[in-house]
Amino acid sequence: MPTNTEQLTGLTGHTYKAVTRAHTRVSTADKPTPVKPVKPVNRGLSHDHRGRRAILALDLGTTTGWALRGYDGLITSGTAFFKPGRFDGGGMRYLRFTNWLTEMDRLSGPIEAIWFEEVRNHKGVDASHVYGGLMATLTAWAELRGIPYEGVPVGTIKRHATGKGNANKDAMVAAAHARGFSPADDNEADAIALLLWAIETNGGQA
């Protein structure tokens, strides 16, 4: 997995930043117990990890929050930035996103399921267009590889994390801290909340 501030190069030769934090969780009850954070370790493609699957949760946007639970139960999270450069065409954002997904799958996968935050209301037209483009790119990428995916309403994620379906950004960050995580912003906090929802509402078999 990439570490903080590491520059990754996509298939197009362009670079993008990835910010990664690692969290180890041991499931001893319905809710995992946080322990001291450790650096992520690439453990290969072995499936001998108590039947867990590698799953990815995404808060789609120009700054995309992500959280990934590996086969060994290690949860890593961070943000990835897909803002076009000054001389980039309009499609470069989505090409970089495709390359980022491919790198995540190669380095930490294979990814076996993807959950993304399903947003119905956006603050502006541009944000709506970016979200739609990223979602289309994600679903096409997953379909090509036979990876199941599902959108989860924002209110469902917020309610699971905080008890309130209309929780604000600060509340979501606070909820992540309460579970032993250290998100850099609300995008990462939302992705963490979505991942925990996916794990905890699927009987631990997500």
Place of tokens 């076996």: 112
Neighbours of 128 (CB within 10 A): 14
177 — pLDDT class (breaks 50, 70, 90) = very high
Q: To the nearest 10°, report the CA torsion of 185, 19, 179, 165.
A: 40
pLDDT reading at 148 higher than 50: yes
The rounded mean pLDDT for the chain is 78
In this structure, of 5-9, 98-102, 103-107, 161-165, the range with the lowest mean pLDDT score is 5-9
Q: What is the mean pLDDT of residues 20-43?
A: 39
In this structure, of 34-48, 108-122, 181-195, the range with the lowest mean pLDDT score is 34-48
What is the value of pTM for the model shown? Answer: 0.72
Q: Which amino acid is at 182?
A: S
206 — pLDDT class (breaks 50, 70, 90) = low
**Higher-scoring residue by pLDDT: 171, 11:** 171
Residues in the chain: 206
Tokens of 151: 């959108």
pLDDT reading at 189 higher than 60: yes
Domains and CATH numbers, the chain: 6-200 (3.30.420.10)
pLDDT in tens, 57-112: 999 999 999 999 998 889 999 999 998 878 877 788 999 999 999 999 998 879 99
3-state percent helix, strand, coil for the chain, nearest multiple of 5:
35, 25, 40
203 — pLDDT class (breaks 50, 70, 90) = low
**What is the rounded CA–CA span in Å between residue 115 and residue 184?**
20
Kindly write down the DSSP assignment for every residue of 137-193, as one continuous string. HHHHHHHHHT--EEEEEHHHHHHHHHS-TT--HHHHHHHHHHTT---SSHHHHHHHH
By the 8 A CB rule, do 97 and 9 touch?
no
